[in-house]
Amino acid sequence: MAKESKIKCVVWDLDNTLWDGVLAENDALVLRENVVRVIRTLDERGILQSIASRNTFEPAMERLRSFGLADYFLYPQIHWNSKADSIAQIAQSLNIGLNTFAFVDDQPFERDEVRFVLPEVRCIDALEVDGILERPEMNPRFITDDSRKRRAMYQSDLLRNQEESAFSGPKESFLATLQMVVTIAPARREDLQRAEELTVRTNQLNATGYTYSYEELEAFGHSERHRLWIVSLDDRYGTYGKIGLVLLETTAETWTIKLLLMSCRVMSRGVGSVLINHVRREAKRHGVRLLAEFVSTDRNRMMYITYKFAQFREIEALGAGGVTLLENDLDTIPPFPDYVQVNLVDLDSH
Amino acid sequence: MTFQAKIMDTTQKIKSFLVKFIRDADVGDDEDLFATGLVTSLFAMHLVLFLEKEFQVKVDNKDLDFDNFRTVNAIVALIEKKQGGG
């Protein structure tokens, strides 16, 4: 599974990879054929890009700016340290898994170092740049509005994060300055591609790790026995896009949360609890029991903790398929925190 | 350190942690931390990771019971239990 996962970030070397020539040797630098097209196309597909180059930061950025490419790269690592460290740093800053990274470099030595230290990263010889766009792992199944806006969304995250590190005071007060608006709405047809993308892309904040295809999600959208809600988040820096998904299996007596997931980009925003408390409130209003399925993976402990802190209790440990069943007593449901405004769009309409 | 002093120390450490998250920094030892709706997933995760690191304990799934975290005193009691202090 790890090896086949789709690429979410391509990290480029500069000298003799992005351009022909070596910056530090004052060569006349010429962009390599096709590189610009590859960078633009990956960007449109919602694949993030960064730089790992052994160079001095400012002159290299200056060249990228003069080529009109600087904006394409998030958290560029341009210094004299190890490229494996650089890639690990980028992965941490973007908060995405290393198994979704590809690294392009012309030097076998650099690729070997990365391969040795970070075996999950896929290393690509700069000579193979032309074929990059055709590789299956570089082709997301759908290109959604959210994929096209992905880089811009990460760039506004960068601003928020800078603001946040500069902010002194409790976390809750910082969140209040963001003026967040959470919108929870039934998934419509035009949301389903993004919904599928979310089930495929989300690992950490995913309570079950079930993935559903577009067709399955579409069927849930029409099913009397399911509710599929999609969550978006906006704040004063702009939109985070559609960042969360809930799938409920509903009977007259019981609602079961089959899927509850949130994009890692909103991990620090408190949206998960808003969503869970909303589901609790709706279940209570409909007079049904609320159950939740949880499947433990090596990365989703946070979702288990989220459920437990939202007053779910285990009623059946490790049943078929490693599924733990939890139930919520729906007793004391806290109000939405006052740092966020919640918009609920006709959830009974399906 | 006497037992009393140790409890006070634990309480103090937990409260200094809470201050980083909560605007109303002056929480009582028996005040319900979650009645105000301030518990976010991130806060929960940070709290668990903080306790594990600061007090060198492993918070197991079975400890992740809401009641163990509802008040400062409840958290202190959990830590005491995990540290084998009774």
**Domain at B44, CATH number:** 1.10.1200.10
- Burial of A279 from C-beta contacts in 10 A (0-12 / 13-18 / 19+): buried
- Separation between Cα atoms, residue B64 and residue A284, nearest integer Å: 24
Q: Do both A282 and A297 map to the same domain?
A: yes
Q: Do both A107 and A219 map to the same domain?
A: no
Q: Do both A118 and A200 map to the same domain?
A: no
pLDDT of residue B54: 93
List the domain range (segments joined by +) for residue A283. Answer: 145-349
- Separation between Cα atoms, residue A206 and residue A42, nearest integer Å: 26
Q: Do A304 and B25 touch (CB under 8 A)?
A: no
The tally of CA atoms less than 13 A away on the side-chain side of residue A233 is 25
pLDDT of residue A24: 92
For residue A58, how far is the Cα from the chain centroid?
29
Q: Which residues pair with A254 in a beta bridge?
A: A289
B45 in contact with A, Cβ within 8 Å: yes
pLDDT of residue B8: 87
A306 in contact with B, Cβ within 8 Å: yes
Nearest chain A CA: its distance from B31 CA (Å): 15
Strands A122-125 and A101-105: parallel
Query: Beta strands of A251-288 (E only): which ranges?
Result: 254-262
B65 in contact with A, Cβ within 8 Å: yes
User: Using a CB-CB distance cutoff of 8 angstroms, which residues of chain A are in contact with residue B48?
Assistant: 305
Both structure tokens of A274: 């808003």
- Each of the 350 residues of chain A gets a pLDDT tens digit; together they read 344 688 999 999 999 999 999 999 988 999 998 999 999 999 999 999 999 999 999 999 999 999 999 999 999 999 999 999 999 999 999 988 999 999 999 999 999 999 999 999 999 999 999 999 999 999 988 888 888 889 998 998 888 888 888 888 888 788 889 999 999 999 998 899 999 988 888 777 888 888 888 999 999 988 999 999 999 999 998 889 999 999 999 999 999 999 999 988 887 788 888 899 999 999 999 999 999 999 988 788 888 988 988 889 999 877 767 899 999 989 888 888 888 999 998 766 65
Residue pointed to by tokens 């599974």: A1
A267 in contact with B, Cβ within 8 Å: yes
Angle, CA A138 vertex, CA A50 and CA A9 arms, to 5°: 20
Of how many residues is chain A composed? Answer: 350
Burial letters A246-267, b for 16+ CB under 10 A, else e: bbbbbeeeebbbbbbbbbbbbb
- As a whole number, mean pLDDT of residues B44-48 equals 86
Residue pointed to by tokens 């930061």: A57
User: Using a CB-CB distance cutoff of 8 angstroms, which residues of chain B are in contact with residue A310?
Assistant: 39
Residue A108 covered by a domain: yes
Q: How many CB pairs under 8 A join A and B?
A: 75
Interface of B with A in 5-24 (CB under 8 A): 19-23
The total domain count for chain B is 1
User: Using a CB-CB distance cutoff of 8 angstroms, which residues of chain A are in contact with residue B40?
Assistant: 269-270, 272-273, 337
Residue A341 covered by a domain: yes
Q: How far is CA B61 from CA A129, A302, A319, A326, in A?
A: 47, 11, 16, 12
User: Using a CB-CB distance cutoff of 8 angstroms, which residues of chain B are in contact with residue A170?
Assistant: 19-23, 25
Q: Do B37 and A309 touch (CB under 8 A)?
A: no
pLDDT of residue A317: 78
Both structure tokens of A161: 């994060």
pTM score, two decimals? 0.79
Q: Name the domain boundary from A100, A115, A138.
A: A138
Q: Do both A169 and A106 map to the same domain?
A: no
pLDDT of residue A135: 96
Span B10-35, pLDDT tens digits: 999 998 888 877 766 677 888 888 77
Going by pLDDT thresholds of 50, 70 and 90, the confidence category of residue B86 is: very low
pLDDT of residue A227: 94
What is the interface pTM, i.e. ipTM, of the complex?
A: 0.83
Q: Do both A55 and A120 map to the same domain?
A: yes
Which residue in chain A has the smallest CA separation from B38? A337
